[in-house]
Amino acid sequence: MKRPAAISFALLLFCTAFAGAAGSGTARPQRSDSIPDSLRSVYLYTEGIKRQMIRLDTTGARTLFAEAIRRDSSYAPAYYELAGSLTAGGERTIGEVIRLAGEAAKLDTANKWYRQFYGQALLIGNRYDEALDVYRSLTRSDAQNPENFRLLAALYAEAERPYEAIAVLDSAELRFGRIPMLSASKRRLLIDTRQYDRALAEAQALAEAAPYEAENHVALGELYALMRRDSLAAKSFADAIELDPTDIAALVAAGDYYNRKQNYPAFLSVTRRLFDSDELTAGSKIAQFERLTADLRFYREYFLQINELAALLALKYPNDPKVADLYGKHLIASGQLDEALALYKLHTADRPPVKEYFTMVIDIESYKQRPDSAERYIAQALGLFPDDPDFRIARGHIHVYGKRYKEAVKSYREALPYVRSDSLRGLVWGYIGDVHHAAGEHRRCYTAYDRALRYYPGNASVLNNYAYFLAEEGSRLERALDMSGRAIALDENNPTYLDTYAWVLFKLGRTAEAKRSMQLAISLDGGKSPDLQLHYGDILAASGERFMAEVYWRKALENGYEDPEAVARRFEWLEQSEKTSSP
């Protein structure tokens, strides 16, 4: 069961009030023949107090209190102090605390402290029904303490008796006047019971009584929002922020309201104030920024405001790696590659070094086709992270881009001793196989692919490439079909993998099946790949659909197929075959 906030607060006070420091040793009461038996319990109790307060010997004090009770079972102060000394014992002792506190309250019914302590012990033990009776009596016997009324109202609320809780708070208001904490509790209960007009009256009265308190205007704004009186809600939130532009609770409440109402400019304006505050942690701001940028449409529409937030974070937390990463990714997403590159280059000087900064610099320099600069940063990174295989792999990628195939294979092989997982080892061998194929070394390519699949059988890229190259050669087509099928099973909506599967089927002479697979590939690809369009044209031509074959071959040319002469030869072949077949 959820514990009300009011009760939780009481428990905190209860625990801190009686926690004692444990001492060492067992107490032995000083013997004195001059103390009469009738006062022996008083003497033991007094000695226990001294042990606890002066010597900080909680264990010895407990022994003395227990002895006082043994000698006089009606001595209430000893029960009270023994119960208090046990409050730091956790759940295992709460039952004993309740028993002792109850005895003290029962033995001295006029002592309000004993009864309050007993009530708090019952709250700690989640015995709310019994606590309710205790706090009912306290509101009568200790009627000058508003905390008793607050807790009684909270207990009624916990018992799902909200109207009685409201009546208690009404009584407290008549007795003490308007107390903000009690008014806030009453307002929540009125909202829970849908007494919105009364709740609004409470909030208005608080705002009139203390017009310079931002929290009162926030409460008023939330009620207006609940009642769909939006213009008044917006004014109340604006008043709260005007009173204290740094009030986090007011800013958060206003932000939530504007977000619900989809008033995003106002919401982002409030968010900027929150980002400027030092009361919120960098982590909470980063999480909020990530939520804001998760929706790409929202990101694009409010880019200028979001850009301000990103720049503000970078300004306030220049040395936070998470903020640097966030700001760099924001710059990349907004197309500001040069600014992102400058940011990451600046942070490569950070100590201790951060691997991701070097990775981003290398990726951007590679994307901008500046392999020399990328290699310089790879060399720096290897000096700082000598056992990390990723930078040797990155060097291999750069060599592939420059068609320096032998150097690429060397770099990939140099990475292998540092690889810690079979899956990554399988990926590296796959890269080596790709390089060998690009260099025309097909046998070495297949050997590398076989090793890649031994380490990582689920490497869909290797399965696909292996199958496609075999299909191009027209060899081991059944094995190629099996591998291509496994690649599709791993990534069933990948148009490239579906194209390979269709192409293998086509090479096997299973044209109808190839056409169905190719249609799905073309649909998923969305007409982007000229290779897929060329293959589909070939399959259509073999199916006798010459007109549509020409359509797709032309699409392949329009989309920049890398070998226009190969397409031209297809048209020539088609024209020649038509002449041959005509009577």
Distances (CA, A) of 475 to 397, 454, 549: 29, 21, 26
- Return the pLDDT at 27: 45
In a domain, 241, yes or no: yes
In a domain, 248, yes or no: yes
* Cα first-last separation, the chain: 90
Q: Specify the CATH number for the domain of residue 262.
A: 1.25.40.10
| Domain termination residue (choose one: 280, 303, 338) | 280
- Return the pLDDT at 6: 41
Query: d(Cα 269, Cα 94) in Å, to the nearest integer?
Result: 50
Query: d(Cα 48, Cα 55) in Å, to the nearest integer?
Result: 10
- Return the pLDDT at 19: 38
Instruction: Annotate 450-518 with three-state secondary structure.
Output: HHHHHHCCCCHHHHHHHHHHHHHHCCCHHHHHHHHHHHHHHCCCCHHHHHHHHHHHHHCCCHHHHHHHH
- Return the pLDDT at 581: 58
The one-letter amino acid code at 208 reads: E
In a domain, 533, yes or no: yes
Listed residue (458, 431, 425, 427) closest to 444, CA to CA: 431
Q: pLDDT averaged over the chain?
A: 87
Q: Would the pLDDT of 36 be above 70?
A: no
In a domain, 230, yes or no: yes
- Return the pLDDT at 10: 41
CB–CB of 353/385 below 8 Å?
yes
The vertex-110 CA angle with 105 and 116, nearest 5°, equals 50
Q: What is the pLDDT of residues 287-321, one digit of tens each?
A: 999 999 988 899 989 999 999 999 999 999 988 88
How many H-runs (helices) and E-runs (strands) does the chain carry? 33, 0
Query: d(Cα 394, Cα 377) in Å, to the nearest integer?
Result: 11
In a domain, 434, yes or no: no
Please report which residue ranges of 385-476 form alpha helices under DSSP H: 389-401, 405-415, 422-438, 442-455, 460-473
| Domain termination residue (choose one: 280, 299, 320) | 280
CB–CB of 428/434 below 8 Å?
no
Which pLDDT band holds residue 471 (cuts at 50, 70, 90)?
Answer: very high
- What's the structural domain count of the chain? 2
Which pLDDT band holds residue 84 (cuts at 50, 70, 90)?
Answer: confident
Least trusted range by pLDDT, from 5-9, 430-434, 439-443: 5-9
Which pLDDT band holds residue 405 (cuts at 50, 70, 90)?
Answer: very high
CB–CB of 247/241 below 8 Å?
yes
Distances (CA, A) of 495 to 243, 314, 453, 482: 59, 40, 22, 17
Neighbours of 312 (CB within 10 A): 16
What domain range is 233 assigned to? 194-280
Distances (CA, A) of 119 to 2, 112, 114: 19, 10, 9
The vertex-502 CA angle with 426 and 460, nearest 5°, equals 15
Phi, psi of 354 (to 5 degrees): -115, 120
Q: What is the pLDDT of residues 503-562, one digit of tens each?
A: 999 999 999 999 999 999 999 988 889 999 999 999 999 998 999 989 999 999 998 988
In a domain, 567, yes or no: yes
Report the b/e string of 186-216 with b at 16+ CB within 10 A.
Answer: bbbbbbeeebeebbbebbeebbeeeeebbbb
C-alpha torsion sign, points 74, 76, 79, 82? negative
Taking each helix axis from N to C end, the angle separating 214-226 and 248-260, rounded to the nearest 10 degrees, works out to 20
| Domain termination residue (choose one: 245, 280, 315) | 280
Q: Would the pLDDT of 33 be above 90?
A: no
In a domain, 518, yes or no: yes
- Return the pLDDT at 8: 42
In a domain, 137, yes or no: no
- CA-based R_g, the chain, Å: 39
